[in-house]
Structure 1
Amino acid sequence: MTLEERKAEARKEAFALRKAAFDTRPPGAAGHLSSVLAGFRGVPLSGYMPIRTEINPLSAMAEAAAHGPVGVPVITAAGQPLTFALWEPECEMQDGAFGAQIPADLVFFEPEIVIVPLVAFTRTGGRLGYGGGFYDRTLEGLRRKRPTLAIGFAFSAQEAESLPLEATDQPLDMIVTQDGVFQIS
């Protein structure tokens, strides 16, 4: 089985686990994320607008926006890194690529913290995404310029013992779930 076939199989299994976690999610799932972000008040960060069965970071993003710039990713083209547009709670939104909402008024900036959605993760910082490589390209570019903290945000049910990863897959620095925080050394 090729690496891509192994990734496709891992994604299929992880999507099922994520959906089950989403369907039974408790209220306040972003509580630990809020606590983590409180330690970085004012640092430019990007969250994401949740789609499908992704865990929802919006309450933590809204709290962070009271103290500094918060944005969301914008897909400009396949094969390109993400750009980030400033976001505020209640700002006017429009449809972006893949069904994710983006601000109607696109004011771009570069975050120093990126909250990363995912399909599956390992406690060693491995991340399986949707397969487009957007976050891998983006984190690689941001990290070339300055230290950039990548925080994976997921349901604890999305944890995997191991994942089929390749050299271009950017590691996470921390994983936050509804149950707690995993700091990657």
Structure 2
Amino acid sequence: MVAPHTPHTSNDPPDIAARKKTLRLQCAAALRARNVRLDHGIVRRLEALLHPEAGPIACVWPLAHEVDLRPLCHTLAQAGATVVLPQTPPRGAPLVFRQWVPTSTMLAGRFGTHYPDGPIMEPRIVLVPLLGFDRTGNRLGYGGGYYDRTLAALPHAASIGYAPSTQEVAQLPCGPHDKPLSCIVTEKEVIRFG
């Protein structure tokens, strides 16, 4: 996941940026306080949703407080899927995805992240970690803009957000660069858009 502690440099209008900043603080606190046993339900729903033959699937190697997708990575790899994980580049660039297999060496990345030493590949499906989401497919990340740039650079990739249901908010403010997700997966349901 991309740095939860990076300073936010937004292209959003000031009022939207301020509202997002407040929501980020609230949603980050809710994520840290969640019952981590809910994460198992998210992983199970993602396993049922994802098909190994769909092409490279971009998962996320978690930071300490995030939903742990490592069991999903192993399940997908055992089923024959190509799994890729993000490498966080310098600010202003989209994420780079490298192939992961269970025997991959994990390298230390920016902001406490880890990525595999595998070859660079373009994903067909991008799993997007969420601090918050609403019922229209809008998402709230950490504010670095990495997934905004990545999804814009991969317009044909499916974007699947995932988060505990505790991260749902009534309505998220949207800026000019915000793109709705294809669907959002929680431990309770799969919410589809479009």
Matching of residue 72 in structure 1 with residue 85 in structure 2: yes
Matches within 5 A, 1:100-115: 100-103=113-116, 105-115=117-127
Q: 2:46 aligns with which of 33, 38, 42?
A: 33
Structure 2 residue aligned with 1:132: 144
Give the number of equivalent residue pairs.
Answer: 179
Q: 1:61 aligns with which of 73, 76, 81?
A: 73
Higher mean C-alpha displacement, 24-33 vs 49-58: 24-33
CA distance in 1, matches of 2:165, 2:174: 20
CA distance in 2, matches of 1:107, 1:24: 32
Give the letter for the 2:172 counterpart. L
Give the letter for the 2:50 counterpart. L
- The 1:26/1:120 distance shift into structure 2, 3 A limit, reads closer
Give the letter for the 1:95 counterpart. A
CA distance in 2, matches of 1:113, 1:124: 20
Structure 2 residue aligned with 1:184: 193
Gaps of 5+ in 2: 1-13
- The 1:63/1:8 distance shift into structure 2, 3 A limit, reads same
Q: Contact conserved, 1:74 with 1:96, CA < 8 A, in 2? A: yes
Q: For residues 7-35 of structure 1, give each alpha carbon's deviation from its aligned partner in whole angstroms, at most 9, with x where no partner exists.
A: 110101111111121x4424623110111
SS in 2 for 1:152: strand
Q: Per-residue deviation at 1:42?
A: 4.4
Matching of residue 47 in structure 1 with residue 59 in structure 2: yes
- The 1:133/1:89 distance shift into structure 2, 3 A limit, reads same
- The 1:72/1:173 distance shift into structure 2, 3 A limit, reads same
Structure 1 residue aligned with 2:168: 159
CA distance in 2, matches of 1:24, 1:99: 21
Q: Per-residue deviation at 1:57?
A: 1.6
Give the letter for the 1:109 counterpart. M
Q: Contact conserved, 1:42 with 1:64, CA < 8 A, in 2? A: no
Matching of residue 175 in structure 1 with residue 188 in structure 2: no
Q: For residues 87-112 of structure 1, give each alpha carbon's deviation from its aligned partner in whole angstroms, at most 9, with x where no partner exists.
A: 11242112111111111x24100001
CA distance in 1, matches of 2:112, 2:26: 22
CA distance in 2, matches of 1:33, 1:180: 10
Gaps of 5+ in 1: none
Q: 1:148 aligns with which of 134, 142, 157?
A: 157
Seq. identity, %? 36
The RMSD of aligned alpha carbons is: 1.6
Runs of 4+ in 1 over 4 A off after TM superposition: none
Q: Per-residue deviation at 1:169?
A: 1.1
Higher mean C-alpha displacement, 40-49 vs 154-163: 40-49
Greater relative contact order (Cα 8 A, min sep 6): structure 1 or 2?
A: 2
Q: Per-residue deviation at 1:170?
A: 2.0
